[in-house]
Structure 1
């Protein structure tokens, strides 16, 4: 069972246990999820981990956890094609308009010696168990920048910044977070393993030995091999995510979101991904004035199968670019009523002349 499945199972239990017990168990579970998913981590050999974002999945976002290269199978006849008319009419209109805007908006030109800078800022949750056995949790922010060279087979640079609790966090939470940072910087981190903060370098963007992907099974350098026909593209996505999670629709949407938010997918493929998302049943407009890190766009999302939350991508309707993402609670959780944005990530791209 992977972190996605664990998290969904956890969510499905909400409401069947006392709030205090549930909150305590959720903090422990998310800490275990994050620590066990670190490259090379071994139980008992790493420091307590910060809680990972509460997301359905984050496979290829350049400035989050290292992307896994999952090999997709050959397309076969029994492609799972969920029944239904596709996204709501409102969502389909937004997505198709985004596709058109994407084609009109030229991809940034990265000249020799320059870099495409992909900058992210995210708000997530953190937590750990104190020495007395009590649980401490908080919200925290983290930033990161990936520098992609003009020659994408060249050396990519990834600056991973430390996670910092919000100023509104309790003194106990700030102290716990500081202890985590201290442990990460100390010898308690597994010997020989890349640390989760600081400068990372990798030829071709293969951080932690994993090549960047467009969708599952298709490395970035093979983006041209994917069909631009929306239905054909969606069929490939359904096949490669077959059996994952609790819903083929949610898995397909997440796969598309993963590709769109990387900042490196060519415009014609971004347009095809938007149009493919418009064919997925259950996709809807969540908010026409969604604001993430000071920028406003249209939130398009899909509810989790249990109806507990919705994952959105936030699209700039003018440029057709994904400017961020968010997770919105659709049910009341202990301390977090329905409608709460539990996590968000902003994505900004620019062309720069140098990298760290």
Structure 2
């Protein structure tokens, strides 16, 4: 069975024993996308984000940028997921057929997104962004300089949160961000049993309302937030400065990540992070998908639900430490969430490969009152 057939095996049980030509297989896949066929569902797995104990307080803002999704009525995700290949995403040429299928799905999502427009934000109204997330929290004890051969010890948990943001029509005016802790920490792994592990504390920055012009919710943080910063994807100015052309968007992603090598995995990660910020205008999203389709090594993973239970198609790039997945609604082309799955050699050695370490559901709308979600 070739690599494309292996991918289709995860996506369409009817194709499990098929020896049809590649063109036939590809056609069947896209037909399944059109029909939103019922594909094998897997519960969420997990991602990594563990801090040294001493650095926990200083690192909380970085941590809250990571999301992990888990259904609130389910145990911490530990389901068996198709493991990452273990091959670096820097060698995408090893699976060209799989990459082609992923490109077709992204381009189809782009076609579905063409003509989509956002509801306008009028005077006195607010752009509303709702993110339901599971964040990774953890702690570790470092290796002593006197005993460098010691094994690092630690534990990792998931924390369910909701971030809501209200952005006024005039972005220079006061924004509101509300953070809520939705449930207790869930233990997903450690070098000691859960009963012998002390959970990390819930931080002050995990909850509460904060206001600030241009979204400057933490005015004492460094570097200082600049209103209208065209390099900050959490501000509308970034998108006004973003070219609306797939080739130029791809070049923009490459330039943004050059300090990290501009590898396919890094470019894909940044591309998803920008979508997850929830501010990309609908008219730009189609070409953003087309830009992501140009990244080598992206493959169709499976049908997957986001944190709020909306079903979509997950696409990602395999990596030694983790895989980052984009989840798209196949009926509308809408971006509905992101997840991260531990690879064969997770960042935290005590995490099982195939564990979900990030998950999110993102939705947007227009609110009439600061602090009140849209009626619909």
Q: TM-score range by the shorter chain?
A: 0.5 to 0.7
Query: Separation in 2 of the partners of 1:147 and 1:331?
Result: 39
Provide closer, same or farther for how the CA distance between residues 94 and 136 of structure 1 changes in structure 2, counting only shifts above 3 A.
Answer: closer
For residue 237 of structure 2, the aligned residue among 221, 241, 248 is 221
Q: Does 1:321 align with 2:334?
A: yes
RMSD over aligned CA atoms reads 3.7
Residues 1-356 of structure 1: matches in 2 within 5 Å? 29=51, 31=53, 35-38=57-60, 53=66, 88-128=99-139, 137-162=156-181, 164-166=183-185, 176-177=199-200, 180-181=201-202, 184=203, 195-208=205-218, 209-211=224-226, 216=231, 220-244=236-260, 248-304=263-319, 307-331=320-344, 336-356=351-371
- The residue aligned with 1:21 is none
Query: Separation in 2 of the partners of 1:281 and 1:242?
Result: 16
Query: Separation in 1 of the partners of 2:239 and 2:91?
Result: 25
Provide closer, same or farther for how the CA distance between residues 312 and 222 of structure 1 changes in structure 2, counting only shifts above 3 A.
Answer: closer
Gaps in structure 1 of 5+ consecutive residues: 1-25, 40-48, 56-80, 186-194
The SS at the match of 2:181 is coil
Gaps in structure 2 of 5+ consecutive residues: 1-47, 69-89, 142-152, 189-193, 219-223, 372-376
CA contact under 8 A between 2:328 and 2:337: conserved in structure 1? yes
Q: Which of the pair has more CA radius of gyration?
A: 2
Query: Separation in 1 of the partners of 2:109 and 2:127?
Result: 22
Query: Separation in 2 of the partners of 1:325 and 1:261?
Result: 7
CA contact under 8 A between 1:310 and 1:327: conserved in structure 2? yes
CA contact under 8 A between 2:110 and 2:285: conserved in structure 1? yes
Query: Separation in 2 of the partners of 1:213 and 1:258?
Result: 19
Answer with 161-170 or 275-284: which moved more. Answer: 161-170
- The residue aligned with 1:65 is none
CA contact under 8 A between 1:95 and 1:274: conserved in structure 2? yes
Shift of 1:152: 2.5
Deviations 1:101-132 (A, max 9, x none): 222332123232222221112123323479xx
- Per the normalisation by structure 1, the TM-score is 0.65
Runs of 4+ in 1 over 4 A off after TM superposition: 30-34, 49-52, 81-87, 134-137, 166-173, 211-219, 332-336
CA contact under 8 A between 1:125 and 1:138: conserved in structure 2? yes
